[in-house]
Amino acid sequence: MPTLTRSPWTLRDSEKLYRISGWGDPYFRINAAGHVEVTPQGMQQESGIDLHQLVMDLVARGLQLPLLIRFPEIVADRMRRICGSFEQAIERLGYPNVYRGVYPVKVNQQRHLVEEVVNQGRPYHFGLEAGSKPELLIALALLDTPEALLVCNGYKDRDFMETALLAQRLGRTPIIVLERLQELELVLEAAEKLGIDPILGVRAKLSAQGIGRWGSSAGDRAKFGLTATDILQVVERLRGAGKLHCLRLLHYHIGSQISMVSVHGRAVREASQIYIELVKLGAPMGYLDIGGGLGIDYDGSQSTNPSSQSYSLEDYAATVVQTVLTALEPYGIQPPVLVTESGRALMSHQSVLVFDVQDINAASPYPMPTEITSDAEVIQKLNQLYSEIQPETLTADYRRCQELKEAALRQFTEGSLSLQERAQVERLFWNCSDKICTLAYEQHQAGHPVSVDLLDLDEMLASIYYGNFSLFQSLPDSWAIDQVFPIMPIHRLDEEPRQWATLADLTCDSDGKINRFFGDDGQITSVLPLHNPDGEPYLLGVFLGGAYQEILGDLHNLFGDTNAVHIRSRPGGYHVSQVIKGDTISEVLSWVQYNSEDLVEAIHHATEAALQQGQISLSEARSLQRHFEDNLRAYTYLH
Ligand SMILES: *Cc1c(COP(=O)(O)O)cnc(C)c1O
């Protein structure tokens, strides 16, 4: 593969290539050893945790790769930053009310993380948002912060309503947000039965929409939320039941990963107007809950790319506070408590998935044929083309090269080329492509324009790196919605990466591959520059996957949960606060109703029969049985 040689290679070059300061700041950077370093408390930390050393230590303790490493202090730091931004904006703009964040549990339900949010969130009265009955139970059991909100979104039944209402008796503040008109009757009946006044919210369907992948969370056809007509019906029904005083909150959620602050501004403006109308209709209100959507800068470009974010936390908070203030001012309405439900922005940075490269499939394994033994015309032409490739004619040369290859394949199918000749065509084609690609990159480096289809050569000529992980278990959004996560080696960053790679996972699914990465200019590329493992363990980290990925992950090919550890910093190092062993094969099999004892018994029967017939020796039989039983207790990934 062509290499972009800048010699000598420096840490700065790696930083630029993998854009780590763009997406990693203030938690991830490169240290003097050429390793990724983690500073879980953000910038103020002088010395961080050497991620490569940490992984080596964990492996030495017997934890196998792939490893999910969580840094709960990052969650605490993110929460401080989000709350801090709102507090500052409120103070600076003279907003006469407070901010109350809630964490949407669906983003990552892992107990230790939710506990971290509740414990670290106490000073900010940080609450939780539940979108289902199981999440409601988690939130009820864990959230004991006075004044913290427990926002109940999602579809609800009578059971859900009664549980939420009874939680008021524990001193909690559950707010039941009506997502559908039908829920109003359910909650009124439950309230009547229990003699408890509900604290109610309505979710509005805004016309302002998020854009990009999650844009359809709002708008007229959105799955959730009440239209203006519905909201008016709610008000009238509540008034009729003498319960209008229960309507306290207006909620909306326009989608996730909003890359422009103006989109937030438009939504807040529209919602403020609905809020004003609700107050005018006689509802007491008091809370405006603007949902999630606060973005993450996955590609580090600080742009309006769908995978980026062109605004800071401070911009976000200031826009929200100022917009509400300005909207309400002319009406003399008391500004509400501001509630946000940021999930992605709170949880993404918190974990790193580390896996080893098991094997590589080199891109151009075939050298140029030294001698052309065939006199077939198409082979002679390809051979000649190789020597005639010129920087000035790359596009035409590449087209010609493809035409010749296709002609040769046709001839093979018709029986006029032998398998030996087909192999020569293959080698000539690869070498022509490689030469074209190298010249194209030289042109690119020299600042000359290169036609795009030449850049597509990248992927064809890249090596495939086989990673010890399952995309479906650990990075489902990469497969399902083409989301791109920052991926980079966690060591050898003082060396120039000389291989261009795409990644394949362990599943036997052809979709189990990653061929979309962030290039050094922030654009999506199909290859990632990596080092040659040279027979040594080579470790890659996938970053910013702490939100949504864990619970969306599935058991495709029966690869189970990875091992997970929780790491906290302490002066001069770190300590391991939790070790959560990944699934064993036996556990994974039980999810699909296989009983390990039955399986062992079946193997015993089969070996017994083979022994009887003299097909297997006693020691082979014992060895097979031992392997079978050991494997049932083993990790689902490769050793
Ligand atoms: C998923 C969800 C969130 C979290 O959104 P992010 O974009 O991750 O912050 C917030 N509120 C509701 C109602 C949601 O469904």
Q: Tens digit of pLDDT for each residue in 270-324?
A: 999 999 999 999 999 999 999 999 999 999 989 888 899 999 999 999 999 999 9
Ligand 1 centre from 290 Cα, in Å?
10
Q: Is the CB of 254 under 6 A from ligand 1?
A: no
Mean pLDDT for 477-484 is 92
Query: What is the Cα–Cα distance from 463 to 538, expressed in whole angstroms?
Result: 15
What value does the mean pLDDT take over residues 450-473? 83
The answer to whether the CB of 210 is under 6 A from ligand 1 is no
Interval 352-356 mean pLDDT = 98
**C-alpha of residue 253 to centroid of ligand 1, in Å:** 7
* Interval 413-425 mean pLDDT: 95
Ligand 1: does its nearest atom lie under 6 Å from the Cβ of 259? no
215 pLDDT exceeds 70?
no
Looking at residue 214, what is its pLDDT?
62
pLDDT score, position 379: 95
Does ligand 1 lie within 6 Å of residue 294's CB atom? Answer: yes
Q: What is the pLDDT of residues 545-580, one digit of tens each?
A: 999 999 999 999 999 999 999 999 988 889 999 999
> What pLDDT does residue 630 have?
96
Closest ligand 1 atom to 344 CA: 8
Q: What is the pLDDT of residues 471-480, one digit of tens each?
A: 999 999 999 9
| Pocket-testing residue among 129, 263, 288, 549, ligand 1, by greatest number of atoms within 8 A of Cβ | 129
| pLDDT higher than threshold 90 for residue 354 | yes
pLDDT in tens, 167-181: 999 999 999 999 999
Q: What is the 216 CA–ligand 1 centroid distance (Å)?
A: 13
Nearest to 520 by CA among 43, 50, 36, 21: 21
- Taking the centre of ligand 1 as the mean of its atom positions, its distance from the CA of residue 578, in whole angstroms, is 27
C-alpha of residue 129 to centroid of ligand 1, in Å: 9
pLDDT confidence tier of residue 226, bands split at 50, 70 and 90: very high
The phi, psi pair for 593, rounded to 5°, reads 65, 30
How much distance in Å is there from the Cα of 557 to the middle of ligand 1? Answer: 30
**With 60 as the cut, is the pLDDT of residue 256 above it?**
yes
**Is the confidence at residue 44, as pLDDT, over 90?**
no
153 ligand 1 Cβ < 6 A: yes
- Overall average pLDDT of the 119-142 stretch: 97
Q: Is the pLDDT of residue 199 over 70?
A: yes
Supply the DSSP symbol for 502. E
pLDDT over threshold 80, residue 360: yes
Atom of ligand 1 nearest to the CA of 258: 7
Amino acid at 298: Y
- Asked whether 341 lines ligand 1 (CB < 6 A), one says yes
pLDDT(421) > 70: yes
Question: At 568, is the secondary structure helix, strand, or coil?
Answer: strand
Residue 340 in contact with ligand 1 by CB distance below 6 A: no
Q: Mean per-residue pLDDT for 402-415?
A: 95
Nearest ligand 1 atom to alpha carbon 342: 9
CB of 344 within 6 A of ligand 1: the answer is yes
Number of the ligand 1 atom closest to the C-alpha atom of 153? 13
At residue 23, the pLDDT reads: 95
Mean pLDDT of 60-83: 97
Ligand 1 centroid from CA 105, angstroms: 9
pLDDT of residue 217: 62
Using one digit for the tens of pLDDT, what is the confidence trace for 132-155?
A: 999 999 999 999 998 999 999 999
Mean pLDDT of 208-223: 65
Position 462 confidence tier, pLDDT thresholds 50, 70, 90: confident
pLDDT surpassing 80 at residue 222: no
Lowest mean pLDDT among 23-37, 181-195, 453-467, 524-538: 453-467
How far is it, in rounded angstroms, from Cα 470 to Cα 556?
8
Expressed in angstroms and rounded, the spacing between residue 220 Cα and the centre of ligand 1 is 19
User: Cα separation of 37 and 199, whole Å?
Assistant: 46
- Long-range CB contact pairs, 50-59, < 8 A, 24+: 51/352, 51/354, 51/490, 51/541, 52/490, 52/491, 52/539, 54/567, 54/574, 55/354, 55/490, 55/539, 58/565, 58/576
Nearest CA to ligand 1 atom 5: 292
Q: Is 342 in the pocket of ligand 1 (CB under 6 A)?
A: yes
Q: Is the pLDDT of residue 1 over 70?
A: no
- Single-letter amino acid code for the residue at 350: Q
Q: Quick check: CB of 300 below 6 Å from ligand 1? A: no
Q: What is the pLDDT of residue 456?
A: 72
Cβ of residue 217 lying under 6 Å from some atom of ligand 1: no
Compute the average pLDDT of residues 345-352.
98
Would the pLDDT of 105 be above 60?
A: yes
* 3-class SS letters over 304-353: CCCCCCCCCHHHHHHHHHHHHHHHHHHHCCCCCEEEECCCHHHHHHHEEE
Atom of ligand 1 nearest to the CA of 548: 8
* Per-residue pLDDT, 368: 85
pLDDT more than 70, % of the chain? 95
Q: Give the pLDDT of residue 221.
A: 62
Assess whether the C-beta atom of 104 lies below 6 angstroms from ligand 1: yes
N-term to C-term CA, the chain: 30
φ, ψ (nearest 5 deg) of residue 445:
-60, -35
Indicate if ligand 1 lies below 6 Å from the C-beta of 256.
yes
Atom of ligand 1 nearest to the CA of 295: 7
What mean pLDDT is predicted for residues 321-343? 98
Q: Is 293 in the pocket of ligand 1 (CB under 6 A)?
A: yes
Q: What is the pLDDT of residue 146?
A: 87
Q: Ligand 1 mean position to 341 CA, how many Å? A: 6
- Average per-residue pLDDT in the chain? 93
Average pLDDT for 417-445: 89
The answer on pLDDT for 454 being more than 80 is: no
Average pLDDT, integer, range 59-73: 96
What's the gap in Å between 194 CA and the centre of ligand 1?
Answer: 31
**CB-count burial class (<10 Å; 0-12, 13-18, 19+) for 633:** exposed
pLDDT at residue 584 above 60? yes
Q: Identify the band that residue 364 occupies on the pLDDT scale cut at 50, 70 and 90.
A: low
Ligand 1 pocket check for 546: Cβ under 6 Å = no
R_g over Cα of the chain: 30
Atom of ligand 1 nearest to the CA of 154: 13
In this predicted structure, the answer to whether residue 211 has a pLDDT above a threshold of 70 is no
Share of the chain above pLDDT 90, in %: 81
Residue 442 CB partners (closer than 8 Å, separation 6+):
2, 391
Task: Return the pLDDT at 346.
Answer: 98
Q: What is the pTM of this model?
A: 0.92
Q: Whose CA is nearest to atom 15 of ligand 1?
A: 253
Distance 145 CA to ligand 1 centre (A): 21
Atom 10 of ligand 1: nearest residue by CA position: 292
